[in-house]
Amino acid sequence: LDQTCFFCIITFFSALTALASSHEYHFVNESKTWTEAQRYCRQNYTDLATIDNMEEMNRLINTVNGTYNGSAWIGLYDDVNSWRWSLEDNDFYQEEERDFRNWYHEPNNINGNEMCVFDYNGNWFDSSCEYHLIFVCYDGKTLQVIFFLLIKSKILNC
């Protein structure tokens, strides 16, 4: 490999790492129960929103900002043993990303019936899954296409 090609490969993988750590969120302005929202997100995107860290939390807020100022379902739920993200794919998460939480004096599980989570202005609250709220989806398909195009482009140009 000549130096130019080596530089292209290093630059490419640096960009790939940056892209891999960011999510694309989609605000859906339709009221649904948590389960209905999850089904909708899985049919049209990848899943309900998964938030790994404060940077991702801010991206999610910016996605909704100006469009809606209320409660929105995200992909966190209580499976009785622990809080889990709706997106179960272990390959999706980097170390400790499954553990990020942004509770606001929660969870309190009032009446033992609050198994789903909504976001309100960047704070998380547990709630009954039967309430009808708008929601935020995560789309992983777009990034996979970008990765493929970047790989093809860089390999052909090197």
Do residues 85 and 132 share a domain? yes
Above 50 in pLDDT, residue 42?
Answer: yes
Do residues 6 and 62 share a domain? no
| Mean pLDDT over each residue of the chain, to the nearest integer | 70
Q: Which residue has the higher pLDDT, 81 or 94?
A: 81
Which residues span the domain enclosing 9?
A: 1-23+140-158
* pTM, rounded to two decimals: 0.67
Confidence class of residue 22 from pLDDT cuts 50, 70 and 90? low
Domain count, the chain: 2
Tens digits of residue pLDDT in 45-57: 989 988 777 787 7
Question: What string of DSSP letters covers the chain?
Answer: --HHHHHHHHHHHHHHHHHHT--EEEEEEEEE-HHHHHHHHHHHSSEE----SHHHHHHHHHHHTTT--SEEEEEEEE-SSSEEES---GGG--TTGGG---BSS----GGG---EEEEETTEEEEE-TTS-EEEEEEE-HHHHHHHHHHHHHHHHH-
